[in-house]
Structure 1
Amino acid sequence: MTAPLPHLSPATPLADPHSRVFAEDVLAGLRAPRKHLAAKYFYDRQGSALFEAITRLPEYYPTRTEFGILERDGPAIAAEVAPGSALVELGSGSTQKVRRLLPHLRDLAAYVPVDVSEEFLRSEAEDLRADFPHLRVEPVAADFTQPFALPEDLAGLPRAGFFPGSTIGNFEPQAAAALLRHVAATFGAGARLIVGVDLVKDKAVLDAAYDDAAGVTAAFNLNLLTRINREIGADFDLDAFAHQAFFDPDHSRIEMHLVSRRAQTVTVAGIPIAFASGETIHTENSYKYTVESFRALARSAGWEGRAVWTDPDRFFSVHALGLTSIRRH
């Protein structure tokens, strides 16, 4: 049985309520029987820059493969979006993928990027308006995994979601189904969803994609500790932790960890956290699906598989889903 989670004192010097939530989440994860941290916290400014660098690595196939599908099959994918729709991108980030789809969406009523990083979101929206001057762009700063409101002036428009990058794979399967139900409830009857899904493939290809020779993914993983040090007053020694990533075929997922190189105690927001030598912090999962297993997952959440596109090697897939029912549980 674990000790009760210590609540942060009101006197703990954290800059804002978001930092306090971050600290509570970090402490909850680090005091769990198996230490873990939420992957959503990777993406501070430096983490986002490192991830963009990862997408350009020779080992990291998902981004360029998905780009290729969107460019080659863009007209067919766009045809799944009803004319006059509001296209809502979940976790929009750099908008590089939607830029490959927008030229084929000539009857789009509005584009709504949703992302937690408000400063980056607004900057990307301005750039997009400059490049697509006739496109109505209405950014929403929100965590798309939580209830959020779409702009009121878009009420009554058909809704279509865009969820590229295989981000769905970062969720446990039950949580992924819950997210799809949440999206269904947010978008409403008749909605469509275009979603990128990474596929099961040779283990060596998967392992290399998440443990590149240049060490960029290692830097991305370790940057999470840098963020914790900076934002909530921890004293992680980055040299005392190592990046680890591997494909677990039993769970059909990549796991990423930070491994303690020695027995040590780290202080986080004034609270000591002990590590044994070799103990890990589980920082990310990335589930890999077959076309059939993802369609079954979507079906369990009320979405029907309408079409799917893959690259010639079947490394990656883009699915068009249609909402058949709204399931709350």
Structure 2
Amino acid sequence: MGDKKGKMPAWVNFVIGGSSGMLAICVVQPADLMKTRMQLLGPERKSLVAVAGDILRTEGAGGFYKGLTAALFRQATYTTGRMGCFNSVSDYYKTNYGTPSFATKVGIGVVSGAVGAYVGTPAEVALIRMTADGRLPPEKRRNYRNVFNALARIVREEGLFTLWRGAGATVTRAMVVNGSQLAVYAQAREMLLTHMGEGISLHFVSSMISGLATSLASLPVDIVKTRVQNAEKGTSQLKVLTNVIRNEGVLTLWSGFIPTYCKIGPHTVLTFIFLEQLNKLYYTYVQNE
């Protein structure tokens, strides 16, 4: 993220990356919650409108933001890690080797995603459980008060390592997501720049293209990850995958595509817009010192 004003310190990349994700998730949390509910339906089939109607009827408007504290904590860990790593490594690469190729961008994104995902897995487990709680019968709900209550109860009731249940699936998904999202965004932005010029429109279109590619690539591993983490007992990714295909059909792996795209697209747009604005604030502060 260096420019003529001076190279941004690595730690600032992490802080700005995480802050951007946290601001963006406040807007798209309802879509993320509906995506999770649709992925846990199993053989049952419901439309996005039907799922939203169920939430409104049984939980009220506030139901769309159930698990928000976990979502924010996830962004504070996962997105801080992935965005900070990606931007810091990209800056290092540009300084020492020049502009990275598309393949190099993918590689940096994959590694950054893996690092961020492993750090963020406990928050991911809490988020999945909190957003899924409302669809369970009252007697089976966990009723976590917030993300910290969820983490404490998971450790106390199920053991410390349960916080990393599905870590393999989470890391796999993150590698796919970041390898596609960050690399496709950067490539689309680069190709469209001469036609559209710098500005919000360029960021928006590039982000929506990136979101489409990311949604298609990541949904199968996302569904497997969601079910592994919501399971009462530990299970493997392969077992979940084969059960889904055998019992529900291969197209189930893309269940919840619309809310996923509605979340990933705008989340990417907002994250990068917030990122640019926070970068400007940082450099304005540095210049005024």
- Sort the TM-score into its range (normalised by shorter chain): under 0.3
Q: Higher helix fraction: Structure 1 or Structure 2?
A: 2
Higher Rg = 1
Instruction: Compare relative contact order (CA 8 Å, sep 6+) and give the higher one, 1 or 2.
Output: 2
Q: TM-score, normalised by structure 2?
A: 0.28
Q: TM-score, normalised by structure 1?
A: 0.25
Q: Higher strand fraction: Structure 1 or Structure 2?
A: 1
